Structure 1
Amino acid sequence: MLMLAYEDIVAARARIRSGVVETGCPASFALAAHGEGRFHLKAEFRQRTGSFKDRGSLNKLLRLDPAAREAGVVAGSAGNHAQALAYHASRLGIACTIVMPVHAPLIKVANTRGYGAQVIQTGETLSDGMALVERLTSEKGLTPVHAFDDFDVMAGQGTMGLEILEQVPEVTTVIVPIGGGGMISGIATAMRERRPGIRVIGVEAAASPGAQASLAAGAPAHLESSDTLADGIAVKRIGDLTFPHLQAFVDDVVLIDEEQITRAIFFLLESEKVVVEGGGAVSVAAILEGEVDLRSSDTTVCILSGGNIDMNLVSRIIDRALWADGRLARLAVVVRDRPGYLNEVTALVAIEGANVLHIEHTRAFGDISVGKVGIELTIETRGPEHIAKIVVKLRELGHRVEELS
């Protein structure tokens, strides 16, 4: 069985050192309130293209022979791998072609083109485009660069493990997002060589549980992924090369659902002041949701693997998280249709210390009698107890009040 060698990771680090960022691994004091022990966050979203993919892509490109460099490279990707490969290929003067689905996020398509790659959009899914990658490889002699199932790529990602051991020498547990398995394979190989007793925990989106299913089956399993906020780690099948490393080195794989991913992204925004994509936030979600068994003596490093998230999506995540936390609420209030009643409602909300963000006033509700009017308020509050107090006060004034979901 072919396995990644520790020496290849050490060589990769020397090879790519000048072309990637040695990202920080600061302590997280906010996360310490949610789990046992001490916590650090490996900030891979600080890489030049916003994710850990810079490491593996650059190592692969630097390993190409002169003929392959001259011919150029090709890859199928809808996101982070595309951007990293395009950026480093352009920097090295290597022609790069990226095949992306027709509905790939516009910002990722624009970024990939902006980094200098030729982008070809075809098919509904990434799998649809892989036939074109194979054809370009055959007809034009381009070198395919796989996003994870490649020893050079795995070695590049493994350089993270070497950095963590130097930055947090007391580390006992590392929590790593899993997509195709390249990152966790490289990190686990590096860290277990130097620290055999270290625990390696993988985290997947529940909508794309390929690693967990494959470990249960004893072989890489093909699964149809569902839509997920963690699109960067949603793959249909983990790698043939990465799978043995998961079997040998990974202690556990846990699943995180969409609401838990939303909470983790919001936690990182509010408590750590960083913007992290869904796939990059699952390691923190595993801590927040109590999915990893930790002791007070543990020092845990969570990999924040990427920060390439659409800002419109961030806005929706903030609203949803505030709603779930009780800091946003919608109230439907029915009052008499007389001058002054609207002012009475909004004045009470203000007196109680809440803030009106949006208001609708209508007489058209079917369940409201003639002589009554409906007021729908979106308010900013301090939490559920604050909302409950406002509802009680409005009802004491004789108004019918319902909290809307």
Structure 2
Amino acid sequence: MENYVLTDKFYSKDMDDFSEDPFCNPEQPTTITFEDITSAAYKIRTGINQTQCIKSHLSELTGMDIYLKKDFLQNTGSFKERGARYALLMLSKEKQQKGVIAASLGNHAQAMCYHGLLLKIPVTVVMPLIAPIMKIQKCRELKANVIIEGKDMAEARKVAIRIAQEKGLTYINGYDHPHIIAGQGTIALEILEQVEDIDAIVVPTGGGGLLAGVIVAVKALNPNIKIIGVESERCASFSKALECGEPTQTIIEGTLADGLAVPKVGYNAWATSRDSVDKMVVVQEEWIAVAILRLVELEKCIVEGAGACGLAAILAGQLDEFKGKRIVLILSGGNIDTTILGRCLERGLAADGRLVKFKATVSDRPGGISELCKLIGSIGVSIKDVIHERAWVTSDVFSVEVKVVCETRDFSHSLELRELMFANYKRVKFENLRSIKSSKPDITSTINNM
């Protein structure tokens, strides 16, 4: 690996002040080599799980030969352990004794805390106020010094760097530190050993560390394999960098793929990967919800939004050029909050045309709503919720407007329900079946109507 240029300070356009992070210098970025990745693979081999990469049941559904690299089966639930362990092992004895610090919403923090505990290296993590409580608690259980400060990651990062300067700790960036990138690249070496004749590998992309590591490893061994990066439309920082020709500050919105919500691609990751990525795909949030649902139903895999983005791109028809070919999806993480998982599954069902909401005006005389329920049940549709409204019905005083949420078997079953309602009631309005097609759901307007 190249020698790092330990400049005193650099100026980051996305921050209001100068911040010291000598391993991430925009003026002299460090590019990662294949030798760096093989070194990382050797050093972390006894502390990292070699996770499964097996053929998916989704292959028949999509018309592709799909393999799933299940790196959410690492001890802390994400691929982040690879880079974290390597970065900790590469510290000098003096720096290991002094300790490290990182800023993270969750996965990088947990990985650092876990391997810091195993290697007896003191770890401090700065987590913003928006970090999930369960991830904060997990870091505390791993004996780390957890600091909750900052409204978002940008502020948490400033705090972490300031503490690093004050206490002499080593700050380790979660996606752009050279050793982090090299460690993440070890996942590609495993994939190439586990699966033959690969046509493409799809990589969830946030700060770009995983993408850069995978590109270096794969292109060195088989340059014919296509490397596809995938992002959410609400945090497409790598696509923005490609558009502008350099890492550029990007507006980040709330996303199911919160693990990818990095406003600016890392400079080292960008320098390493920019000329070798074959395609970048930006997926809609609705398809991420459907992908999470598919993975739960068909693969029994509980995967967070970031890990489901590769499948989302396939389901949305954005990788149709790989029909009939062999493609590997990296399921990068499984640390999804249980309440968020419930919402994702409901949104996935709605986007899939299997959770349907409609309004109908029915008779308010005895048996009116009962008749509606019997009619719905007659075709095997399950009623999830019923709300009736009397005060604002303008037709007549003997009518009531009923809002019904139903679960159906599939999209065609939902169409059958719609036709049944139209045939029996004059005033019916379905809120999320406006433009869904039978072959593939057009889900751009589905989620917001829930």
Q: TM-score normalized by structure 2?
A: 0.85
Correspondence 1:333 to 2:360: yes
Partner Cα distance (1:296, 1:332) in 2 = 40
Is the contact between residue 368 and residue 374 of structure 1 (CA under 8 Å) also seen in structure 2?
A: no
Mapping of residues 288-307 of structure 1, within 5 Å: 288-295=315-322, 298-307=325-334
Q: Superposed, which structure 2 residues align to 1:15-30 within 5 Å?
A: 15-30=43-58
- Equivalent position SS for 1:249: coil
SS in 2 for 1:204: strand
User: Are 2:126 and 1:99 equivalent residues in the alignment?
Assistant: yes
Q: Deviations over 1:37-84 (max 9, x none)?
A: 411111111111110000000011111111111111100111110110
Find out whether 1:120 has 2:160 as its counterpart: no
- Deviates most, 293-302 or 305-314: 293-302
Q: Please tell me whether residue 354 in structure 1 is matched to residue 366 in structure 2.
A: no
Moved more, 392-401 or 96-105: 392-401
Paired residue type of 1:286: A
Does residue 374 of structure 2 align to residue 343 of structure 1? no
Deviations 1:15-41 (Å, cap 9, x if unpaired)? 111111101001113144324x41111
Aligned equivalent of 2:86? 59
For 1:33, which of 50, 54, 61 is the aligned residue? 61
Secondary structure, counterpart of 1:342 in structure 2: helix
Q: How many angstroms does 1:346 deviate by?
A: 1.6
Return the match for 1:204 from 231, 244, 248. Answer: 231
What is the match of residue 9 of structure 1?
37
Q: Distance in 1 between matches of 2:61 and 2:422?
A: 37
Residue type matched to 2:261 in 1?
A: A
- Relative distance call for 1:298 and 1:245 in structure 2 (3 A) is farther
For residue 207 of structure 2, the aligned residue among 172, 180, 187 is: 180
Deviations 1:265-289 (A, max 9, x none): 1121122221111111111112112
After superposing the two structures, state which structure 1 stretch, 113-122 or 47-56, moved more: 113-122
CA distance in 2, matches of 1:326, 1:20: 40
TM superposition score normalised by structure 1: 0.94
Hey, what's the Cα distance between the residues in 1 that align with 2:431 and 2:407? 14
Aligned match for 2:102, one of 75, 85, 100: 75
- Alpha-carbon distance between aligned partners in 1 of 2:367 and 2:245, rounded to the nearest angstrom: 70
Query: Counterpart of 2:74?
Result: 47
**SS in structure 2 at match of 1:301:** strand
Q: Secondary structure at the match of 2:341?
A: helix
Moved more, 56-65 or 237-246: 237-246
Given the alignment of the two structures, is residue 169 of structure 1 paired with residue 196 of structure 2, yes or no?
A: yes
The equivalent of 2:440 in structure 1 is: none
Please state whether the residue corresponding to 2:97 is helix, strand or coil: helix
1:237 corresponds, among 251, 264, 268, to 264
Of residues 70-79 and 244-253 in structure 1, the stretch that sits farther from structure 2 once superposed is 244-253
| Residue among 297, 305, 312 paired with 1:285 | 312
Equivalent residue letter for 1:25? C
- Give the equivalent residue in structure 1 for 2:8: none
CA-to-aligned-CA distance 1:169-214 (integer Å, 9 cap, x gap)? 2112111011111111111111111112221111112222221221
Cα displacement (A) at 1:394: 4.6
Q: Aligned equivalents of 2:418 and 2:322: distance in 1? A: 42
Return the offset for 1:94. Answer: 1.1
Distance apart, 1:308 and its partner CA: 0.8
Uncovered stretches (5+) of structure 2, i.e. residues with no partner: 1-28, 433-450
2:25 corresponds in structure 1 to: none
Quote how far apart the aligned CAs of 1:218 are: 2.3
Mind listing any 5+ residue stretches in structure 1 that lack a counterpart? Answer: none
Structure 1 residue corresponding to 2:349, chosen from 310, 322, 327: 322
1:110 corresponding residue in structure 2 = 137
Q: Percent identity?
A: 38
Report the counterpart of residue 386 of structure 1 in structure 2.
413
Aligned residue for 2:275, secondary structure, equals: helix
Alpha-carbon contact 2:290-2:349 (below 8 Å) kept: no
Query: 1:248 aligns to what SS in structure 2?
Result: coil
CA distance in 1, matches of 2:422, 2:216: 63
Shift of 1:305: 0.6
Please tell me the root mean square deviation across aligned C-alpha atoms, in Å: 1.9
The residue number in structure 2 matching 1:158 is 185
Three-state SS of the structure 2 residue aligned to 1:183 is helix
Between the aligned partners of 2:311 and 2:298, the Cα distance in structure 1 is 12
Match of 1:262? 289
Aligned amino acid, residue 58 of structure 2: A
Q: Which range is displaced more, 243-252 or 42-51?
A: 243-252
- The runs of at least 4 aligned residues of structure 1 exceeding 6 Å deviation read none
